[in-house]
Amino acid sequence: MDLNGARAVVLGATGGFGAEIARALAAQGAVLAVHGRDAERLQLISAEVGGHPVAGDLTQPGVPDAVMDEAAQALGGLDVVVMSAGAVAFGPVAELDEAVLRQVVDLDLIAPILVARAATRHLGKDGVIAQVSAVVANQPMAGLAAYSAAKAGLTAFDTAFRREMRRAGVRVIDARPPHMETGLAARPLAGEPPGLAQGRDPREVADELVAVIGGSAEAPDWID
């Protein structure tokens, strides 16, 4: 796909990884809509990449559809969807509240499924949807059990959804990035992060993902 002039929406573009994905797409000439919840950071990233801002809490009923519809309307259609909204909760599952566990699954599994469902109404032949899962989908971690389960569920969904979309000519990308220095671990829904090794630079990781979306690079082992 030629990203120059492609109409792309990035959900979670107010986040550390999503912002780098939006920047990388804009650098390739994509026309953007950017999503987030935080009004101030949404304004900043939309001004930086010249993107149409769309706000919304993706765990609320109807919001994934509404966000996708607004983005498609603003851009006159969609060629690329990147779902990077997500959050983590740390700690043994026995110590986590029911509300937190539900929030992890709502945001990291249900919301991407609903974004994908909405994308089917907007993406045509040669369209691309990229979901941001995580390395824990393949290597589940103690202290991250619900997050690992949600991301593994998302990766399984992407594998099946890819088969469903083949006939329509839509590419489904499942990205499982390693730990990155985005500040995600400092904003958990609950708990304290374990001591983590230095993560990768999210800009480099975003560049690799956008190259795969555009078809200019082979997928590394963390992308299917």
Binding-site ranges for ligand NAP (CB under 6 A): 12, 14-18, 36-38, 41, 57-59, 84-87, 107, 132, 134-135, 177, 179-180, 182-184, 187, 199
Contacts of 21 (CB under 8 A, 6+ apart): 10, 13, 82, 84, 206, 209, 210
CB of 182 to ligand NAP, least distance (A): 3
- CB-based burial of residue 186 (10 Å sphere; 0-12 exposed, 13-18 middle, 19+ buried)? exposed
| Of 15 and 214, CB closest to ligand NAP | 15
| Of 72 and 85, CB closest to ligand NAP | 85
CB of 177 to ligand NAP, least distance (A): 4
CB of 40 to ligand NAP, least distance (A): 9
| Of 1 and 110, CB closest to ligand NAP | 110
Neighbour order of strands in the sheet with 123-132: 52-55, 31-36, 7-11, 78-83, 123-132, 171-175
Helix (H) or strand (E) holding 9: strand 7-11
Strands 7-11 and 171-175: unpaired
Q: Distance from CA of residue 196 to its chain's centroid?
A: 22
| Of 14 and 28, CB closest to ligand NAP | 14
Helix (H) or strand (E) holding 27: helix 16-27
Q: Nearest 10 degrees: CA dihedral of 178, 157, 19, 41?
A: -120
| Of 127 and 202, CB closest to ligand NAP | 202
Tokens of 180: 């990155």
CB of 31 to ligand NAP, least distance (A): 20
CB of 125 to ligand NAP, least distance (A): 27
